[in-house]
Structure 1
Amino acid sequence: MRTLPVRLDRDHPDPLGVQLSTQVRDLVLAGTLEPGDRLPSTRALAADLGVARSVTEQAYDQLLAEGWVTAQRGAGTFVASGGGPRTVTGGGRPRPTAEPELIGLDLGSPWIDPRHAAGWRRAWREVSAASAPRGYPDPRGIPALRSAIADRLARTRGLAVDPDEVLLTSGTTDGLRQLLPHLPAGAVGVDDPGYRAAYETVRAAGRDVVDLTPGEPIRMDRLGAAYVTPAHQHPLGHVMPAPDRLALLEAARARGAVVVEDDYDSEFRYDVAPIPALAALERSHVAYLGTASKSVGPGLRIGWMVPPPGLLAPLVALREQTYDMPSWPTQHALLTLLREGWVDKVVRTARRVYADRAPRVAETLAPHGTPASPAAGMYSTWLMPPAAVHKAREAARVAGFDVAPLASYCRSARISGLVVGFGGVTDAELDRALAAIRRGLEG
């Protein structure tokens, strides 16, 4: 454990917690603190500095959110990364340094305000104190959690379902994987450009894929199912127009097909009210998939599925044989987060942050590209020539950031642009990334 050479100034305009996190960050960048170094506990550091423990907790939470430190349960807090030079002592050879890991401006990492960290920790403490089931839990998921999700779907998505119609999954692709054996025969339509994991999941199940063009009516005559993201097309950002929604549902009824609705980030609209779920219009031919990845975090690996009534019984029967469900501790933690209102608070905070960040992205990219759709959620997509995409990505990479080209979401489509995620980074990181992208585009 290292004693930290830091000094806090109560007369300084910056709060004590900000001063502490800044000085620790500087120690890492200077190489004084190296990867793997253990930091003092928040209690010990607070006593050493003569401050309240809340000051050190706030500083550690900020450093954890920015990726400078990692917390290992029962072991302590450790330096995760460093950016400064390393001093070589003696006559030995310098240690090889690993290639610095790029910070991804990806579509799937949400913003979790460090101020909400205490609620997260409380949820897991409750898990540790709870009594685990003696055998395998309900194959559909913990009943209380299914009830909480059913209430949330009715409140936020206009989707009225019975808790017994909700099945817990290990995320959207897991729900799709479980659905595929029960879907009608025929190919599965997937948007192009579209969600890459969905395409790979369909292919891995041995089903043929038909590329669908976002914004064009979907023909169901050759399809057994169509996988769509109607509230916020991934990754172009379009909202499926109401006439197209009705036409899609009518085509599915006529064909006896199923529409798989991935409702991945509908809670994060900040331009208009959330777009109602497609399943709220039609239950008999729509399989609804939701996820906690964009609100709680993708690492939790938990989501939910509301299948068409005709598919519920076979899905449950198979799960009774395979026990294919999320882990009990993860389900219990999500239940606690929902009950305590933690998820609602995180969503509200993130929505405000995204509403602030989207115009900053637009200010950088508007002179060089065209938005694919109005800004919403935690990313925005910009159409621009391949040469501009290359310059922007290279400049971002030099600055330590990875920005995805729109082409990486395409199969047969030929569309060029940038997809800029702004959820899983700090404001300072976003500003550095945008400055680099601007230099590349203007160079």
Structure 2
Amino acid sequence: MTDTWTTLREVLLPDGAPGRQPGRELERRLREAIRSGRLRAGERLPSSRDLAGQFGIARGTAVAVYRQLGAEGYVVSQHGSGTKVADSVAEPAVPAETGPARSWRYGLGPGLPSLAAFPRSAWLAALRKGLADLDDVELGYPDPAGLLPLRTELAGYLGRVRAVVAEPSDLVITHGTFDALTLLAGALQAQGHREIGLEDPGSQEQYELFANRGLTGRPIPVDDEGIRVDVLTRSSCRAVLITPAHQYPLGVSLSPDRRRALLQWARSTDSLVIEDDYDAEYRYDRAPVGALQSMDPDHVAYLGTLSKTLAPALRLGWMVPPARLLTDLVRRKRLDDRGCGSVEQAALTRFLSSGSYDRHLRRTRLLYRDRRDALLEALAADLPDWRPIGIAAGLHVVLQLPPGTDDRALTARLADHDIRVAALSRYTHTGPATPGLVLGYAGLTPDRLRSAVRAIAVQAGG
């Protein structure tokens, strides 16, 4: 251990104050210490019994803290060897999309649409007309559920495009998916939930988001038919977050059998399924399958966002929760931020009603399909041993690498040469991960994508 301290408590609680919930405070401070580098990779941590004694908590609580941090990839526990800080965890598990943007020579990180394709003129026109539509009174504090004209337009759009079953009064306008998840997490925690099922592989940030609301994320494995409902059923979770139309990051769709099994589980246990429909508008081989929510609105909370179709900077999304949660979620929205901005909502109302959103989607579907095709052709020519999967939809592909490849080391080597990609293993929380890369292709032209693949091939060969 570090020679400047004798107990972990000295590092994590220099003020000596564990807070009202010492287990959660311990988990949070351990995570921060590892990410900041104060606890170095490979450093041995106290046993669960010792940890419990230092912080005055039950041993079972200490075990749960280590288990959660292990699921998030921060620590590694081995029988007979104790618990230690995992290697290479002083950075977020997935390349961060926050903070000042770095200009990469080849930016192939997942999670963004083509920001250059944002329809600035059409949006400015919608903004001017939407603002003109607002009465003076509507420039005051907004309805926390959202402007009724926007909810009306969205209810029609979602019913037409995604088969969502919703009246305008059923919708809540949000600042995007994370805002919706934060509201839902608070509602679940208040109802007595202490954990939530999360897809594995899946987003690392979801674990942090739910932990901040008192919920432990439980990894549920995903295979080529989607989330393993049999594993979920054996767990103690009574809520689960899934991406059924286009699983993130693997790109698979939830199979019909799994859909039925998942909803049967939700009905039989009165559980909640949170459906993140983040990029279902982009399907290239056929029409996308309708939203899961349409099969059971009483047990599915449907989430949508503009972050993948227009731009994250707009900070607009929507939620269609089960009716039993609606009043509480609107109350929480009011208390959290008093609602989303009315001017932006009015602009989106105009953008939808004028047909501009539909036109933008038609144009960008063609744009992204051309870019995907260019990427796949370049991969077949320059990296034929790398197998792309999840290619039928979305804004990224997963490349399965030859067995034994260290995808994290490769990702770091590519970053040294100004090429941004994401290691698939960083999305995995349980068991050995198939080595791979997650490549976002929406932001580069076909020529740039071909050049990027050639540059990756050079570094991979080195």
TM-score range, shorter chain: 0.7 to 0.9
Deviation track 1:279-321 (CA, whole Å, cap 9, x = no partner) reads 0111111111111111111111110000011111221233344
Q: Which amino acid aligns with 1:171?
A: G
Q: 2:145 aligns with which of 140, 144, 157?
A: 140
Deviation by residue 1:127-151 (Cα, 9 ceiling, x = unmatched): 5545452421111101010011101
**Counterpart in 2 of 1:206?**
214
The aligned counterpart of 1:227 is 241
Q: Deviations over 1:241-279 (max 9, x none)?
A: 111111111111111110000000111000121121110
Q: Report whether the alignment pairs 1:410 with 2:432.
A: no
Shift of 1:408: 2.1
Residue matched to 1:370: 387
Equivalent residue in structure 1 for 2:162, among 154, 157, 170: 157
Max radius of gyration: which structure?
1
Distance (whole Å) between structure 2 residues aligned to residue 114 and residue 170 of structure 1: 21
Change (3 A) 1:301 1:223: same
Separation in 2 of the partners of 1:124 and 1:361? 35
After TM superposition, give the deviation of residue 399 of structure 1 in Å.
5.0
Q: Does 1:421 align with 2:440?
A: yes
Structure-2 change in CA distance of 1:114 and 1:269 (3 Å): closer
Amino acid at match of 1:188: I
| Structure 1 residues 47-66: aligned runs within 5 Å | none
CA distance change for structure 1 residues 434 and 304 in 2, over 3 Å: closer, same or farther? same
Of 88, 111, 114, the residue aligned with 1:111 is: 114
3-state secondary structure, aligned to 2:238: strand
Q: How does 1:383-402 map to 2 (within 5 A)?
A: 383-385=400-402, 387=405, 389=407, 393=411, 396-397=414-415, 400-402=418-420
Could you tell me which amino acid in structure 2 is paired with residue 210 of structure 1?
A: R
Is the Cα–Cα contact under 8 Å of residues 303 and 318 in structure 2 kept in the other structure? yes
Equivalence for 2:455:
436
1:268 partner SS: coil
Q: Spell out, residue by residue over 1:135-174, the C-alpha distance to the aligned partner (whole angstroms, 9 max, x if none).
A: 2111110101001110111111011210000000010011
For residues 27-38 of structure 1, what are the structure 2 equivalents within 5 Å?
A: none
Deviates more, 1:236-245 or 1:357-366: 357-366
Q: Look up the SS of the partner of 1:150 in the other structure.
A: helix
Helix, strand or coil for the counterpart of 2:184?
Answer: helix
Question: For the residues of structure 1 that align with 2:338 and 2:252, how far apart are their CA atoms?
Answer: 33
Which letter maps to 2:262? L
2: CA distance, partners of 1:99 / 1:283: 41
Report the more deviating stretch, 233-242 or 367-376: 367-376
Q: State how 1:308-347 maps to structure 2 within 5 Å.
A: 308-347=322-361
Q: TM-score, normalised by structure 2?
A: 0.70
Name the CA distance, whole Å, in 2 between partners of 1:361 and 1:99.
22
Partner of 1:187: 195
Deviation at 1:103, TM superposition (A): 4.8
State the aligned residue count.
Answer: 346
Q: How has the CA–CA distance of structure 1 residues 99 and 157 changed in structure 2, closer, same or farther, with 3 Å as cutoff?
A: closer
Match of 1:126 in 2: 129
Shift of 1:323: 4.3
Q: CA shift at 1:335, angstroms? A: 1.4
One-letter amino acid matched to 1:357: R
Residue type at the aligned position of 2:107: G
For residues 123 and 112 of structure 1, what CA distance do their matches in structure 2 show? 18
The answer for unaligned runs of 5 or more in structure 1 is 1-97
- Distance apart, 1:188 and its partner CA: 0.0
Structure 2 residue aligned with 1:242:
256
Name the CA distance, whole Å, in 2 between partners of 1:283 and 1:99: 41
CA separation in 1, counterparts of 2:409 and 2:330? Answer: 50
- Kept in 2, the 8 Å contact 1:365–1:382? The answer is no
Contact 2:250 2:389 in 1 (8 A): yes
Aligned partner letter, 1:434: V
Structure 2, gaps ≥5 residues long? 1-100
Structure 1 position 228, deviation (Å): 0.3
Percentage identity across paired residues of the two chains: 35
**Residue 424 of structure 1, CA deviation:** 2.3
- Three-state SS of the structure 1 residue aligned to 2:222 is coil
Take 2:329 and 2:118, find their aligned partners in 1: how far apart are those partners?
A: 39
